[in-house]
Amino acid sequence: MRVRKEKPIFRGLTIAGAGNLGGSAQWTDANIARWVELREGKFVRVSAGPGHGSASASGPIPRNGDVIPGADGGGGGGGGGAGCGHGKVGKGLGEEVTHVVCTGEEFRRMGGVVKAALKRPKTCQIITLDWLEDSMFAKRRLPEEPYSHLRVLKRERERERMRLRVIKGLEKAVREVNPNLYHIYCDDLFWYKVELTREGEEAGVQERYELSLFESNNARPHLYWFVAKYFKKKGDSQPKIHRPSHAPGVFAREFAEFEDFFRIKTGIPWAQRLIKAGTTEKTFFQYQPPTGGKPVGWVPAECIPADAVEVATGDGAVRNAHDSSGQKGPKSVCTEGK
């Protein structure tokens, strides 16, 4: 019986099978090799593993009531193992191999064939049997991306990464603030995340507090939360958390908590932090204001140092870095820069 001429959709391709390919009983190595060759490609086996289909007479493969064009006629019996009929057997993944077909289970098993293909991501695609089948039915070579095992793996890893991020956020929320829902509050000039330090009794030991005022990302009106972290020494990976409020609240309440904590630990009011910095005893924690023209936050006019410098503001205007025209309270919505 004359075999119908098929479009050469696999011209120049060498497709290798790895492990059990799944599919119906018709998907033997002999049949796959014949169908691929009809479309001017080559199907090979690169490992001497067990077969992936029982011997069967070649013929049409049912798929939603259709048959694969060119699947009729020609030999197809003789076993579906690695050494059957038309499938060439080799011991390594040659450079000529352009595609590796395998199941998701075989891909996750990471056998030798899959590992070898992973080392050649630009020249060797790792795809499912569906790509082969769908391409033959469509009579054209379909894009490999939707059938790629690597794409599935990346999606799974991304889902796992997001799952762990949520879990980490929830765990962190119990102790401090969920970073997925809050960011460091910023007014027009200043990020409200400050550091206090104190030299310990032992040489080289420095205690540290990190004071942060958080603002909600989406809640309207915005909610605020004050949190302080205490690091007993440099490199401390498990700081103690101080969060006086059990729930977020309005700006005035949480900013008052921020100011009170700063005053208790440094011995100076927050409003006087610039003119009194470095004037307290060593038993207090010390605050070092930003230098070099960096924003220092709003302070009353009477607490502006004589050597205050002028800096450019976000709107392009130039004004004193400690311009007393500002008012306490939320001034702008922004997220912490990275």
Give the model confidence (pLDDT) of 81-102 as tens digits. 433 334 454 556 788 999 999 9
**In this model, does residue 290 exceed pLDDT 60?**
yes
β pairing state of 206-216 and 224-231: antiparallel
Digit-coded pLDDT (tens) for 192-204? 999 999 987 765 6
Single out the residue of 257, 279, 275, 253 nearest to residue 266, CA to CA: 279
Same domain as 189, residue 294: yes
**DSSP-assigned beta bridge partners for residue 228:** 211, 242
Same domain as 312, residue 211: yes
**In this model, does residue 239 exceed pLDDT 70?**
yes
* 55, 80 contact by CB (below 8 A): yes
Rounded average pLDDT over 66-92:
44
Same domain as 140, residue 28: yes
**In this model, does residue 205 exceed pLDDT 70?**
yes
In a domain, 336, yes or no: no
Q: Is 150 helix (H, G, I), strand (E, B) or coil?
A: helix
* 48, 90 contact by CB (below 8 A): no
Single out the residue of 278, 197, 184 nearest to residue 233, CA to CA: 197
**pTM metric for this prediction:** 0.46
In a domain, 177, yes or no: no
Ramachandran assignment for 292, one of left (phi > 0), alpha (psi -120 to 50 degrees), beta (any other): left
Give the per-residue pLDDT at 3.
62
Same domain as 149, residue 191: no
**Most confident of the ranges 14-28, 50-64, 277-291:** 277-291
Tell me which of 319 and 34 has the higher pLDDT: 34
Same domain as 187, residue 128: no
Single out the residue of 328, 266, 268, 263 nearest to residue 297, CA to CA: 328
User: pLDDT band for position 191 (50/70/90)?
Assistant: very high
Same domain as 129, residue 78: yes
Rounded average pLDDT over 266-292:
93
Same domain as 224, residue 140: no
Same domain as 104, residue 231: no
In a domain, 127, yes or no: yes
* Lowest model confidence (mean pLDDT) among 54-58, 106-110, 154-158: 54-58
Which run of H or of E encompasses 193?
Answer: strand 193-199
Count of domains forming the chain: 2
In a domain, 72, yes or no: yes
Range of the domain at 65: 14-153
Query: Which pair of structure tokens corresponds to residue 253?
Result: 């309440």
Digit-coded pLDDT (tens) for 19-52? 888 777 888 889 999 999 999 999 998 754 443 3
